[in-house]
Amino acid sequence: MSIPNLTPIYLDNNATTRCAPEAVTAMLPYFTEQFGNPSSMHSFGAKVGHATKGARASLQKLLGAEFDSEIIYTAGGTEADNTAILSALKANPERKEIITSTVEHHAVLHLCEQLEKEGYTIHKLKVDGKGRLDLDEYAKLLTDKVAVVSVMWANNETGTYFPVEKMAEMAKAAGILFHTDAVQAVGKIPLNLKDSAIDMLSLSGHKLHGPKGIGALYLRRGARFRPLLRGGGQERGRRAGTENVPGIIGLGVAAELALEHMEQENTYVRALRDKLQAGILAAVPNAFATGDVDNRLPNTLNIAFEYVEGEAILMLLNKQGIAASSGSACTSGSLEPSHVMRAMGIPYTAAHGTIRFSLSRENTEAEIDRVIAAVPPIIAQLRKLSPYWGENGPVTDPEKAFAPTYA
């Protein structure tokens, strides 16, 4: 229920981005006149095959991959994550252990939980209060029993980076395959995979202004691999199924645009994000930014508002035409707040009230000003309803042992 005369403001780009008009335009002919199957041995197929080759080159460039054949198209990030982990297990059947972290995306965590039931040992690296890993703990786990390490490049909720390049070097030294879920990082920060020790990397088109339903798995040449989907010989036999040609074309254009806007992402978008953070925290008491704020994605800001609940905040923001997201329990239908917030030890007083603002190059300063103006009254309104909030701040409460410092 948004107010009709307010232009909507979209700050949920870590959930999905608007598909770039250039990508849409490029895709359209591949639904109509360029409809051939790239596997077909005639001119209809050949033209399409040539176009997908161009898109692959664009993605190769964005990733800094050495060969375009190192890219396997998938239906999205989840399929890429699943393929990477399951492939590593099948390729190394004698190894029954996996290393991951407590704050991974569910595409990795839920798969690992299932694998645990099937007899694999899962080591979940813990994070500290800022969402950072302990590399000493990681080093101790790198044994010849481990088939694969799978840790994300940047966290989807807080934006916090993991030192994946260093971790990949450590895994390589121990003879272990290294996979990173880079769904949030690709397109936002420069990548140079050919000079890294990363064996596999997942990405998703719709997170970088490409279409939904297309993603990719980067697979280092020579890395042991077993396909998830078997059937035809598409993707060099590594991912069977007729290619999502329009999606591939759209992703290729999105990759070109991401490379073109990389600097803007790290200057303009970062400045907007910082302004938003400073504006909100200056006006709202008992609120703080979560994660490693000095080492995170340039577009991501996750704020915990104490003593209010996230979904209620989202509904009031939405009424003002502002779209964000929350790690609160009520948005997911579960009773526990985001596993990322819990893993960081964010207390319940704050974990239920986290709001993620994720920006893109399409946002403007005027929009950020409007959000900075909108948030404080919303929080005040909800705190007025809260039994945990009195006239002058939080009421004395046995559950309020937590005393965060507000930067």
Partner 1 sequence: MWDYSDTVKEHFYNPRNAGALADANAIGEVGSISCGDALRLMLKVDPANETILDASFQTFGCGSAIASSSALTEIIKGKTLEQALEVSNQDIADFLGGLPPEKMHCSVMGREALQAAVANYRGEEWKDDHEEGALICKCFAVDAVMIEETIRANNLCSVEQVTNYTKAGGGCSSCHEGIEEILAKVLAERGETFKAAPPPEKKAPGKMTTLERIRKIEQVIEKARPNLQRDHGDIELVDVDGKNIYVSMKGACAGCQMEAATLGGVQAQMIEALGELVKVIPVKATAKLAPNTLPA
The residues carrying an active-site annotation are 330
Q: Identify which range of 52-60, 87-95, 254-262, 381-389 contacts partner 1 by CB under 8 A.
A: 381-389
Quick one: which of 266, 228, 254 has its CA closest to 72? 228
- Region binding partner 1 by CB under 8 A among candidate stretches 54-62, 264-272, 273-281, 334-342: 334-342
Task: Pick the piece of the chain touching partner 1 (CB under 8 A) from 228-236, 253-261, 280-288, 305-313.
Answer: 305-313
Can you count the helices (H) and strands (E) in the chain? 14, 15
Structure-block tokens of residue 35: 């409809």
Helix (H, G, I), strand (E, B) or coil at 181: strand
Nearest to 315 by CA among 330, 294, 295, 301: 330
Short-list 214, 173, 221, CA closest to 200? 221
**Is 307 one of the binding residues for partner 1 (CB under 8 A)?**
yes
Give backbone dihedrals phi and psi of 157, rounded to 5 degrees, phi first. -90, -45
Subset of 340-379 contacting partner 1 (CB under 8 A): 348-349, 352
Q: Which of 85, 217, 269, 312 binds partner 1 (CB under 8 A)?
A: 312
Per CB under 8 A, 333 contacts partner 1 = yes
CB of 342 to partner 1, least distance (A): 11
The site for partner 1, by CB under 8 A, has a size of 30
> Is 318 near partner 1 (CB under 8 A)?
yes
Q: Which residues pair with 73 in a beta bridge?
A: 216
Answer for the pair 62, 255: CB distance below 8 angstroms, yes or no: yes
- Please tell me whether residue 278 binds partner 1 under the rule CB under 8 A: no
> What are the structure tokens assigned to 329, written together?
């329990």
Q: Would you say 1 or 41 has its CB closer to partner 1?
A: 1
Residue among 329, 334, 359 nearest 346 (CA): 329
Judged by CB under 8 A, the residue of 192, 334, 362, 406 near partner 1 is 334
308 binds partner 1 (CB under 8 A): yes
**Binding residues for partner 1, per CB under 8 A?**
1, 307-312, 314-316, 318-319, 328-331, 333-335, 337, 348-349, 352, 384-388, 397, 399
